[in-house]
A and B are shown apart, each in its own frame.
Chain A
Amino acid sequence: MRYLVTLKVVTQPAGPPPADLMEAIMKLGQEATESGALLDTSGLAPSSEGARVEVGGGRLIVSDGPFAEAKEMISYALYEVRTKEEAVEWASRFVKLHRDLWPGWEGEADVLRLFGPADFAPPA
């Protein structure tokens, strides 16, 4: 089963993330890759560099970022695991690093299951 984990920040201290944190994130990413669970991951640039394309009232509207969100999405990771709990475990490890290595950081990770063949195939 594939899970998309998105990391959103609520508040964070000014300045760049601590080097320790970045190093620990790299290490965890490597561990997750080597254990076969992590398929893909990337940080996301601030939404000021992005755009939004929306349809409302029958009109197509394209607007440049930044978006007025309370929480900014800062990265995603794509896991292939056997159970939801495994995806939650990886997400927890990732969020714990922020807790432990960047005091004052607050945020959240959403763990979302991606549909796969099993969702469309008849029950076995």
Chain B
Amino acid sequence: MTVADSHRAVEAVWRIESARVIAALARMVNDIGLAEELAQDALVAALEEWPRNGVPDNPGAWLTLTAKHRAIDQFRRRDTYQRKLQEIGRDMELRQEWAEAELDDALDDHIGDDLLRLIFTACHPELPVEGRLALTLRLLGGLSTAEIARAFLAPEPTVGQRISRAKRTLADKQIPIELPPPAELPARLASVLEVIYLIFNEGYAASAGEDWIRPALCQEAMRLGRVLAGLMPSEPEVHGLLALMEIQASRIPARTAADGTPILLPDQDRSRWDRLLVRRGLDGLRRAEELGTLGPYGLQAAIAACHARALTPQATDWARIAALYRLLAHLTPSSVVELNRAVAVGMAHGPERGLEIADALLDERTLRDYAHLPAVRGDLLARLGRTAEAAAEFRRAAGLTRNTRERELFQQRAAGLDQGSPPASSS
């Protein structure tokens, strides 16, 4: 094994173990920033030692224990009297924790709770959304700052600042690393789910840049969803979100042509959908349904499932989709949901009915710069034979989107309508 090989092997262990190591340390030192530093120190030690002596049989425990030793060393080295006093107390606590922790390592008792605490802290509503995203990918995903920056097409120093600012905020506001009390759980869980879905969406419908899809982010979000489903198996929305992501991701192989152009749902080659993800998604949805009433993510998963179950676009149960969107609009009223309902109603009950709903959204300020409003209207108008209006709408959509691939697609639709070609086969 070359040095590079063994470094990659250590990195792999780090990817698998880092979140649990950081989580265990955070419980001990009650400071996420410090916990991460200590874990990083342990990683450096591993990079030095493992290539020489081989990877230990229980690498996670090795990393945790090494980091704990460093924590104790650090607390010992501090010098002011005041700190010394605290230190002694802390040190005793640490020793005790440590003795307990060695038992834990054998029993793995705390690990689940520790990880959950870490997730809830990283997604704390006190942090700005960008900070939550970056911190989650860093602490739970084990991604380096450079990797996160690459994924979000952001400069590395910016991402580094977001992470350190988030950690500082947690420390300054003395936000405890703990599970939210039952009364706060729904709201806090909503933030966790939102962060995971934002990560997914950043990959699935890249908001900017050349690529329409960044699968690595989708995969990381699904992994986080699976982790969460393992930690909170009785929360229907956790399974709902995971199912939603898996069903959506199942389409990734069919969503782009060889040259990178997006292919919309009705035109996708369904034989290219990832059957494993479809099956897992449908299973997850069933799980969510069994656990209780579907929430917003569960409902969206149920909608995605309607598409996944249809072997051909014609077999799509649009009436059910329209009904599900009505429920979703009731639960989480939003213009975007209403716009999607317009599409579904347009498919289920004719373009005229769909256009009525879409037109009602024209004055919505939140949709003013939203490319999909004119795109949806363009599609419905085209199906009604109002070709010139439809072309104008697609041109508007092209002018509004920030995604290169999407812009090309809208321009093509506009050009096709200008030449009087029949409306795209979206019915």
Contact: A121 with B16, CB < 8 Å?
A: no
Complex interface: chain B residues within 8 A of A78 (CB): 276
Within A26-85, the residues touching B (CB, 8 Å) are: 33-37, 39-40, 78, 80-83, 85
B190-228 vs A: 1/0 string, CB under 8 Å?
A: 000000000000000000001100011001001111110
A side interface size, CB within 8 A: 25
Chain A contacts for B57, CB-based, 8 A:
96
Q: A80-B219, A117-B252, A121-B256 are in contact. Are A36 and B227 (CB under 8 A)?
A: yes
> Are the CB atoms of A118 and B223 closer together than 8 Å?
no
Distance, CA A122 to CA B216, complexed state (A): 15
Please determine whether A89 and B13 come into contact, CB atoms closer than 8 angstroms.
yes
The reply to whether the CB of A19 lies closer than 8 angstroms to some CB of chain B is no
Bound together, the chains give a CA A40 to CA B210 distance in angstroms of 34
Q: Which of B379-411 contact A (CB under 8 A)?
A: none
Tell me whether A14 is interfacial, beta carbon within 8 Å: no
Q: Which B residue sits closest to A2, measured CB to CB? A: B276
Chain B residues with CB under 8 Å of A86's CB are 12, 15-16
On whether A122 and B259 interact (CB within 8 A), knowing A34-B231, A85-B9, A85-B12, the answer reads yes
Q: Is B280 an interface residue (CB 8 A)?
A: yes
Q: Which of B211, B215, B227, B280 contacts A39 (CB 8 A)?
A: B280
Q: Is the CB of A117 within 8 A of B215?
A: yes
Complex alpha-carbon distance, A84 and B117, angstroms: 30
Q: Which residue of B is nearest A118, CB measured?
A: B215
Rounded to whole angstroms, the CA-CA distance of A113 and B316 in the bound complex is 34
Contact (Cβ within 8 A) B223 A83: no
In-complex Cβ contact of B211 among A83, A88, A124 (8 A)? A124
CB distance from A122 to the nearest CB of B (A): 6
B-side interface residues, number (CB < 8 Å): 30
- A113 to B195 CA separation, bound complex (whole angstroms): 30
Residue among A35, A82, A120 making CB contact with B227, cutoff 8 Å: A35
A45 to B303, CA, bound (A): 38
CA distance A33 to B230 in the complex (A): 7
Pairs across A and B, CB under 8 Å, 23 listed: A33-B226, A34-B227, A34-B231, A36-B224, A36-B225, A36-B230, A37-B16, A39-B276, A78-B276, A80-B222, A80-B223, A82-B15, A83-B12, A83-B15, A85-B11, A85-B12, A86-B16, A89-B9, A89-B13, A90-B16, A116-B253, A121-B256, A122-B258
Binding site for A on B (CB under 8 A): 8-9, 11-13, 15-16, 57, 112, 210-211, 215-216, 219, 222-227, 230-231, 252-253, 256, 258-260, 276, 280
Which residues of A are interface residues toward B (Cβ below 8 A)?
33-37, 39-40, 78, 80-83, 85-86, 88-90, 96, 116-118, 120-122, 124
